[in-house]
Structure 1
Amino acid sequence: MIRRRYLLGTAGVALASLTLAWPGVSQAQGAGREASILGWRGRIQRMLDRQRLPLIDIEATYVAGRTNIAYLIERMDALDVAQIAFAPANAANSQPALDLHRDYPEYFIPTSNSGEFPRWWNDPVAFVSGVRKELQNGRYYLMGEHEFRHYPSPEQVAAGQTSRDITIALDGPAGHALFQLSEETGVAFQLHYEIEDRLLPVLEAMLARYPKARVIWCHAGMVRYEQRATGYSPDYVRGLIERYPGLHWDLAVPAPEHIYQPSGARDSTLFREGRLDPRWQSVLEQHADRFLAASDYRPPVEQEYTRNIQRLRSLILDALSERSRHQIAYGNAWRLLTGAPWRAASATS
C-alpha cells in the first residue's frame, strides 16, 4: 500500500508538469498518462529488484509491417531493455506509436513521427505543424528524430542509395518551429545533425535563442568526415553542456572498428583502441545527466539489436560509476519523458 501511494505521487508530478504545458489536456487524458507512467515504472523497478540495470532505449524507428515486434519484445526481456521510445516512420501520422503502446503498454513509449522519410524532407514546416496538433492530446512523451543534416546510413551506402543525403536549414522555418514547440510544451525532440564545423555555429545560435527547448542530439561523437569537423572534441562538448542546459546527447554510436565507407573514417570517436576514450569518459562522468542510452534501431538492421545493446553496456556503461550508469541507462530518459526525476520505490513497500 505504501508503495502504491508512492508511485501514484511520483506519476502525479509528471502529470502536473504536462498539464501546465498543455492546459487543454483533459482529466481523462491525464489519467491515461498516469497509468502509462505507472506501467513503465513497474517494469523498471522489477528489473532493479533483480539487481539488473534497466535501459530506456530513447532512439528507435518503427515501421509497421517491417518491425518484428515479437522478436523485439523477446530481445528486450533478455537484454533488460525496459522500454523503447518508438517513433513511427513512413506513416501518415503518429498513431502507430499509440497503437503499439495500447497493445504493449509497459514496453513502448508513444513518440511522434520520425523525421527520416519524405513527408519530413519535402515539407518540414507542415510536418512540425502536424506534430504540434498531435501533442495537444497529451498522449505523446517525445518527438522523434528530425534529420536536418544526414548522410546516407551504412546500409544505404551498401545499397547505393543516396536519398537520405539530407540538408534542411536548422535556422529555417522548420527549425524555429520545432525548437519553439519544445519550449512551449516541455517535450524533447531528437535531432540528427551531422558534425561539421560550418553547422555548429547555427546549432549554438538556436540553442541560445531557445534556452528552454529540450534537444537530444543523436549519436554523440559520431564524426563521419574528419576533415569537416576539426573543431569537435570532448572539450567542445563540455563547453556546450556548460552553456546550454537543455542540450542532451544519445549514445547510439557505431562500434569502435566501424568504418564509414564514403569517407574511410572510423566514425565513432567515443572510442580509442577499442575502449571508451578517457576524455569522453571524463565528460560522461562529470555530466552524466546529459547522456541517454539508445540503439538507433530500424528494420534493416534489426538483427543487430542484441549486439548494439551489449556494446552500449560493455564499452560505455560498464566503464562508468554506478551512479552515472543508472542516470544514463534510464534516469535521464525518465526525467525527460515524465517531467520528474526517477525515484526508487520505498524500501518499506
Structure 2
Amino acid sequence: MLCALPFVAGLPRTGGAQNIVDFSQLRAGYAQRLKKILAAGELPFVDIESSCNSRKLDIDSVAKSMDRLNIGLMALSADIGKWQFGEGVRFDNLSERLLARYPDRFIPVGNGGQPPALTEAADEFLDAQEAAVRAKKIMLLGEFEFRHYPSPRQVKRNEMDRDVHLHLDGPIGHRVFSLSEKTGVPFQIHYEVEDELLAPSENMLVQYPKARVIWCHLAQIRYIERAPLYTPGYVEALLKRFPNLYFDTAFGDANSRIPPEWPAACAGLGRRWQSSS
C-alpha cells in the first residue's frame, strides 16, 4: 500500500511552493518500498543527484523506469532554465507534483543552484529555497554549482554559461552552509576537483561543522594535472575529519572513465556514499 501524501493547504505561496509535507509519513512509505525491493532479492538504489527540465518531464515514465532499474528512491530536482527564470520563477514546485503521484518513490528536493538563477539573482533564488526549507516543504536542497566546467555535451551545444566559478567561501557559500547548519537540511555541491580549490572547501567544513554537505561526483577529475593532491587517501582523511561530509557517486556518461585506483580504494572507505542513477 502506498503512503498517502498528507498536505496542509492554504498556506501563503512562496515562489511556487505552497504545501507542507508530512516527512514522517513519507519516510514510512519509503521504508515500505525499500523493504519490498529487498524482499524480492534486489538491492535498491537511492538516487539523490538527478535533475531535469520539469516542463518536459514524463513522471509516469520515470516511475516505471525506477521500478525496472530497482531505484528505490529518487530526489529529482528541477533546474530553473532560462525561460522560467525570465518569467520570474525562483522556486519550481516539481517535488509537489511528484509526491502527488508517487509519494513512495520521490524525495522532496529544492532546485539546482546553477545559471542563471544562482549567478544572476542569487538572493532571490536563495530566499525561495530557504523559504521552502523553513516551511518543511523539502528534505534536501539541490545541487549548487560553485565550480563547474561545461561537460563535453554542453560544449557541443555551445552552452558555455555552464562554466561557473563562484567562491565556495564567498557570500553564497556562507549562506548555504549556514542554512544547512541551522536547519539540518543537507545540500549538494558541484565543485570541480583541483588542488587550489581544496583549501577553501576544508575551511568551510571547519567553520560549519554541523552543515550536512554532499560533494557530488566522486573522483570526477576534469584535468588530472590540476589535482595531484586529490587521492583516495585524501578523501579518506576528509571523511574522518568531517563526519557530516558525504560523497555522491554520479559520474558522467558511458564515455567517462573513473581513475583506475579509485574503485578498489572506495570499497574500504566506509558507507558515506550517495548513489545516482
Amino acid at match of 2:168: L
Report the secondary structure of 1:44's partner residue: helix
Distance in 1 between residues matched to 2:254 and 2:104, nearest whole Å: 33
Distance in 2 between residues matched to 1:212 and 1:33, nearest whole Å: 21
Cα distance, 1:254 vs structure 2: 3.1
Cα distance, 1:65 vs structure 2: 2.2
Which residue of 1 is the match for residue 56 of structure 2?
A: 66
Amino acid at match of 2:227: A
Which residue of 1 is the match for residue 240 of structure 2?
A: 242
Which residue of 2 is the match for residue 282 of structure 1?
A: 265
**Would you tell me which structure has more helix in proportion to its own residues?**
1
Query: Equivalent residues in 2 for 1:1-349 (5 A)?
Result: 29=20, 32-90=22-80, 92=89, 93-254=91-252, 258=256, 266=257, 268-269=258-259, 272=260, 277=261, 280-288=263-271, 290-295=272-277
In terms of mean alpha carbon deviation, does 127-136 or 204-213 score higher?
A: 127-136
Query: What is the CA deviation profile of residues 269-306 of structure 1, one whole-angstrom value per residue up to 9, with x for unaligned ones?
Result: 2xx2xxxx3x5433433322x111113xxxxxxxxxxx
Q: In structure 2, do the counterparts of structure 1 residues 154 and 257 end up closer, same or farther at CA, with 3 Å as the change threshold?
A: closer
Distance in 1 between residues matched to 2:253 and 2:115, nearest whole Å: 25
Amino acid at match of 1:176: H
Amino acid at match of 1:60: S
- Asked if structure 1 preserves the Cα contact closer than 8 Å seen for 2:186 and 2:212, the reply is yes
Query: What is the CA deviation profile of residues 27-76 of structure 1, one whole-angstrom value per residue up to 9, with x for unaligned ones?
Result: x957x222211111111111011111011111011322222322221211
Distance in 1 between residues matched to 2:62 and 2:136, nearest whole Å: 26
Report the secondary structure of 1:198's partner residue: helix
Unaligned residue ranges in structure 1 (runs of 5+): 1-6, 8-27, 259-265, 296-349
Report the secondary structure of 2:214's partner residue: strand
Distance in 2 between residues matched to 1:137 and 1:149, nearest whole Å: 29
Which residue of 2 is the match for residue 313 of structure 1?
A: none
Query: What is the CA deviation profile of residues 302-343 of structure 1, one whole-angstrom value per residue up to 9, with x for unaligned ones?
Result: xxxxxxxxxxxxxxxxxxxxxxxxxxxxxxxxxxxxxxxxxx
Amino acid at match of 2:51: T
Distance in 1 between residues matched to 2:245 and 2:76, nearest whole Å: 21
- Asked if structure 2 preserves the Cα contact closer than 8 Å seen for 1:284 and 1:291, the reply is no
- Asked if structure 2 preserves the Cα contact closer than 8 Å seen for 1:89 and 1:117, the reply is no
Cα distance, 1:161 vs structure 2: 2.3
Amino acid at match of 1:43: R
Q: In structure 2, do the counterparts of structure 1 residues 72 and 256 end up closer, same or farther at CA, with 3 Å as the change threshold?
A: closer
Query: What is the CA deviation profile of residues 154-195 of structure 1, one whole-angstrom value per residue up to 9, with x for unaligned ones?
Result: 211222321100011111111000000000111100000000
Q: In structure 2, do the counterparts of structure 1 residues 117 and 67 end up closer, same or farther at CA, with 3 Å as the change threshold?
A: farther
Amino acid at match of 1:282: A
Distance in 2 between residues matched to 1:98 and 1:70, nearest whole Å: 15
TM-score normalized by the length of structure 2: 0.85
Query: What is the CA deviation profile of residues 237-268 of structure 1, one whole-angstrom value per residue up to 9, with x for unaligned ones?
Result: 1111111111100110136852xxxxxxx5x2
Distance in 1 between residues matched to 2:20 and 2:145, nearest whole Å: 30
Distance in 1 between residues matched to 2:199 and 2:34, nearest whole Å: 39
Report the secondary structure of 1:286's partner residue: coil
Q: Which stretches of structure 1, 4 residues or longer, exceed 6 Å deviation after superposition?
A: none
Unaligned residue ranges in structure 2 (runs of 5+): 4-18
- Asked which structure has the greater RCO (Cα within 8 Å, sep 6+), the reply is 1
Report the secondary structure of 1:110's partner residue: coil
Query: What is the CA deviation profile of residues 119-168 of structure 1, one whole-angstrom value per residue up to 9, with x for unaligned ones?
Result: 11213233222211111111211000000000002211222321100011
Amino acid at match of 1:97: S
Distance in 1 between residues matched to 2:273 and 2:66, nearest whole Å: 21
- Asked if structure 2 preserves the Cα contact closer than 8 Å seen for 1:40 and 1:107, the reply is yes
- Asked if structure 2 preserves the Cα contact closer than 8 Å seen for 1:234 and 1:280, the reply is no
Q: In structure 2, do the counterparts of structure 1 residues 197 and 125 end up closer, same or farther at CA, with 3 Å as the change threshold?
A: farther
- Asked if structure 1 preserves the Cα contact closer than 8 Å seen for 2:115 and 2:161, the reply is no
Report the secondary structure of 2:162's partner residue: coil
Q: How many residues align?
A: 252
TM-score normalized by the length of structure 1: 0.68
Query: What is the CA deviation profile of residues 192-250 of structure 1, one whole-angstrom value per residue up to 9, with x for unaligned ones?
Result: 00001111100000000000000000000000011211211111111111111111001
Percent identical residues: 36
